Chains A and B, each alone.
Chain A
Amino acid sequence: MYNALFYKEWVKTWKLIALATIVFGGSITYSFISITQDLRVAGAIDVWEAVIMKDLPLLPTLKWLPLLVSVLLALAQYVPEMQDKRLKLTLHLPLPESGIVLFMLSYGITILLSIYIISYIILLSGLSIWFPSEFVLSSFYTTAPWFLAGLSAYLLTTWVCLEPVWKHRIINAVFAVSGLSLFFIDARSGGYNLFIPYLLVFTVLGLLFPFYSVIRFKEGAQ
């Protein structure tokens, strides 16, 4: 039965996953092209000095990408479920309801984590060819909130989509945007180092929010 559920989710989302993979691949490629151009034109010395003295970011193009992909994935997964209340049928499968919801969420999170982890490995490995470990680690800490924002946005978008009442959807969306702004506060490199655990806690808590919407859906809230 979980195979069938997996296939259902795959049918809804495979095109978006393919697009996300292409976009991430393109963005990573562009980042490397941009870095090699700077190293070639300005010189390695100028680039290193700009990073050290002026806090020049090495991967600025990635900032909004994880968030965008995760919101689109959540919409692709759950908007069809809410059309004509098709989620009713999904919840009627001979499986525990919370298990069904957890499986659907896990599907999305696994897809996102796979894309993010592969991207991280490629990016950080590539950076380590031209830059010392301090720059690579700094880039990791700078981009970590953006990728966490992606996971959090997926869970919050799911929470909004599965809410049956439009008025509450709007309220949930306002809450979601305010929560996601935690991940995009302007800070210099390293500024988020002590804050990442709090972002992790917020992201993990977000895993429970969609269950509330599903329970309200089941109760027929209007």
Chain B
Amino acid sequence: MKTLKSFVYWLILLTFTIIGIWIIPVLVRKVTVEPDNYPFIYYSSVVRELCIIDYSKKQAPVKEINGKTYTTEAQADSVLPLLKYRQLLADGRLPDSIHGHEITVQKIHAKSVNYRFIPSQVGSPQPGLYILYEAMPKRVGMESPGDVFRLNKTIEFIDIKSNLVNEEKSSLFQKALQKEGFHFPAQWVNGDMNPRKPYDEGYFILDTAGQLFQMKMVNGQPFVRNTKAGSQIDVAWFDMLEVADKRFYGFLYDKAGNAYIIGNEDGKYGLLRLGIEPLDLKKDQMTIMGNMLYWTVAVSREKGKDYYGLEMESLKRLSEYHVKKEADKWDKASSWLFPFYLTFEDRNSDYLIPRLHRTGYQAFIVNGILALLLVLLVKRPRNRKIKDGI
């Protein structure tokens, strides 16, 4: 019994120490965490440089990264016409052209690109069922097809109302995929299931051989094409983005973390690499604000944030800027309080998994001193034996 008691005692202690390593830092983090305070930076099409924008700083709302400042809001708006076009339009100051490029509101809208990549998109739990809209609908707007498909060892369309497989449609698409050389099962299926979009380009599917296929439904018939991107790069992930000018289908990532846009050039799929440093697809976040002349790309990494100004046509890098991450209250508190801590949630993944984080050696010193004080100051209870226990 003594052995069992001792064993269970240590088991309880170990179990709840592990839980404590998780729950106490969670509570401290709730009290101390602050948002990352990175500046908003945009590539100016007028001065052709990255500019730091903060309209709360009345004396310098816009500052180029080389130091030149613009001291009034009106000046700042003029330096960023493709970002502040609504204000300039209201003031009657929208320019007709910028460096020889004609500017109209229609062109600004048509070429506008807003995109965000977050690591939790990659490898997060997938529903396993997808909605394939008609790519050329007779009426404006996306109409629900009334079925969903799954893509495992074969493709199956399931009628929603009856919850039964539509054998005819499934067979049609199965043959189309096989004809194009698709190797089942799919590694992943990516598209945009949101019906609120101007058009539908179906799904991009990575087969087991690493080849990337596009599949959509045109007038009820399957359209399947091998993009051949898998022959050019080691495909890791694809993110669909339906842009107004249909310039490209979305963003493609290879296993080295390089980002590309994949578009249609004369009936063939073409890749164009973004002129930025490779991403860590498990940790880095990327946002793109693109206009008709330039793209501003911001990549949040572990140690800071990188900003890039890219030329819109070629996506070549024109400028870059780095902002180092500053330790917030949580970083400072955790490095002094916890030599290590456990988390189960992670902003970069939707899966709950235990992850151990190490902080700094100073927490060992602090905890060592606290343990010593506890031993010296707290009286140990005397062992009292009860004669008539049981």
Contact = CB atoms under 8 A, between A and B. Distances in A.
Nearest to B384: A222
Interface string B356-390: 00000000000000000000000000001010111
Contact of B129 (A98, A132, A182, A190): A132
B390 A193 contact: no
Instruction: Tell me whether chain A's interface is mostly helix, strand or loop, or mixed.
Output: helix
B46 interface: no
Given A131-B163, A185-B345, A219-B389, A212 B8 contact: yes
Nearest to A196: B352
A218 B160 CA distance: 61
B352 A132 contact: no
A208 B8 contact: yes
Nearest to A218: B390
A33 B148 CA distance: 24
Given A130-B163, A187-B352, A182 B344 contact: yes
Contacts of A185: 344-345, 352
A114 B34 CA distance: 47
A178 B19 CA distance: 7
A1 B354 CA distance: 45
Interface string A56-84: 00000000000000000000000000000
Contacts of A51: 127
Interface residues of B, number: 43
Contact of B131 (A49, A91, A189, A192): A49
Interface string B151-167: 00000001011010000
B361 to A, nearest CB: 27
Contact of B350 (A88, A132, A187, A208): A187
Given A134-B150, A187-B345, A91 B390 contact: yes
Most A C-beta atoms less than 10 A away, residue of B125, B353, B354: B125
A183 B103 CA distance: 56
A220 B389 contact: yes
Contacts of B4: 98, 211, 215
Contacts of B388: 220
B321 interface: no
B81 to A, nearest CB: 37
Nearest to A198: B354
Given A189-B125, A209-B12, A45 B144 contact: yes
B198 interface: no
A181 B352 CA distance: 13
A190 B125 contact: yes
A205 interface: yes
Interface of B: 1, 4-5, 7-9, 11-12, 15-16, 19-20, 23, 124-131, 144, 146, 148, 150, 158, 160-161, 163, 193-194, 344-345, 350-354, 384, 386, 388-390
5 contacts: A88-B390, A134-B127, A179-B16, A190-B125, A190-B126
Interface of A: 44-45, 48-49, 51-53, 88, 91, 98, 129-132, 134-135, 138, 175, 178-179, 181-182, 185, 187-195, 198, 202, 205, 208-209, 211-212, 215-220, 222
